[in-house]
Amino acid sequence: MTGNAKFEHRDVALLAVTAVEAPVVMPSQRFDEQLAATLKRLRLPKGLLRRVAGVTERRWWDEGTTFDDAATQAAAKALAESGVDPGEVGLLVNTSVTRTHLEPSVASRIHDGLGLPSSALNFDITNACLGFVNGLTLAAQLIDAGQIRYAVIVAGEDPRPTQEATIRRLSLQDSSREDFLREFATLTLGAGAAAAVLGPASLHPGAHRVLGGVSRAATQHHALCVGGPDGMFTDPQGLLDGGLELVVDAWNEAEPRWNWNTADRFITHQVSTVHTTSIVDALGLDRRRVPATFPRWGNVGPASLPMTLAAEADSLSVGDRVVCMGVGSGLNTAMTEIVW
C-alpha cells in the first residue's frame, strides 16, 4: 500500500511552546579557520557553510549545561506559561536525538527534574528530526482517547562533541573531498532545546487547536543519512531528492482534504537554504510565510521546528492556520495543522 497515514484530533490544544537558545555562538567562519589546511589541500573554498547551507552561525551549550538540563528548562518554562500544574501531567515524551547513554531513557531524568508524578508515563521517541512532531501526534491521540489530560513533549540537542570529532577527522592528512562532502551536514548542526504542552481544548477555549494531519514513509532511503556519536554521514543529493519527492507526494495527497496552500504560516524543519528553497518551490508556497531560523541556529534536529514555532508565536494572530512540516532521516515526513 502506498499513501499517507491520516489523523484528526477532536479535542486537543497547544497550550504553550517554548525554546531555550544555547548561549555560546559558534560562527561558521570559526569552522573555516579550524579546517583551513584541509580546505586548501582539497582545493575547496572557504564559506561553504554560509553560501551553500546558509548557516552563518550555530549555538553550543556552555561547559556547565547538558542537553537534558536544557530540555528540562524548556519544559519547566512551557508548564509555567501553560498554567498546568506538574502534578496534572500524564505523559512526558523526550524526542531528542542526542543521548549520552543507551539506558535509562533521557525522559526519566527530565521527569525527575520536573518533579512529575509517578503516574506520568515517560519515555523517548527517536525518529531523527521528525521526533517532536511524532511526539505531538502521539500525545494528542492519548488526550483524545481520555487516557491522559496533559502532555509535555521536549527535545534538547548538543552536537558539539560530534562536530569536534568531525573536525578532527577531516583535519587528517588522508581525508578526501568525498569525506568532506559526506560529513558536511554535521557542521550545520546546532544546540538548542524546546518544549510544548498539550491538553484538552474544551478546558482551554482560548488555546491553539491541534487539528491533525498526515505522515508518510519512504524507508527505502534509510541509508542516505546515518548518524552516531562520531559523526553524521549523508548522501546530500540523494537526501534532497528523496526527501523532496516524499514531501511532494504527501502534500499532494493531503491537499484536497486540508487545503494547506491557503495557510498563514509554514513552520518547517530547519536544514539549509537549498532544502527550504526546494520545498517552497516544489509546493508553490509563499516564501514570506516560511520563516527561516537555520542561519543563526543551524539545524537543531527535532528541536528546530518547535524552536521556530516559539520564535514566530508573537507574530501570529488568533485564527491563523499554521502548518508544521518536516522530514527526518529514514526517510519519513509529517505535517500537522494548528489553528492559532
Active site positions, annotated: 103, 129
Q: Please, which residues have CB within 8 angstroms of residue 243's CB and are 6 or more apart in sequence? A: 221, 275, 327, 331, 333
Taking the chain, what is the end-to-end CA distance rounded to the nearest angstrom? Answer: 34
| Cell numbers representing residue 4 in the block | 499517507
Instruction: Name all contacts of 106-111 with Cβ < 8 Å and 24+ positions apart.
Output: 106/68, 106/71, 109/68, 109/72, 110/68, 110/71, 110/72, 110/75, 110/154
Nearest 10 degrees: Cα torsion 185, 49, 63, 158: -30
The secondary structure of 8-32, three-state, reads ECCCEEEEEEEEEECCEEEEHHHHH
> Cα separation of 339 and 281, whole Å?
24
- Distance CA(302)–CA(134), nearest Å, equals 10
Those residues with Cβ within 8 angstroms of residue 190's Cβ, 6 or more apart along the chain or in another chain = 22, 26, 55, 58, 59, 60, 157, 159, 297, 298, 299, 300
Angle between helices 236-258 and 273-283 (to 10 degrees): 40
On whether the CB atoms of residues 213 and 16 are closer than 8 A, the answer is: no
**Taking a C-beta distance cutoff of 8 angstroms, is the pair 18, 74 a contact?**
yes
Sign of CA dihedral 248, 249, 252, 253: negative
Count of C-beta atoms within a 10 Å radius of residue 194: 31
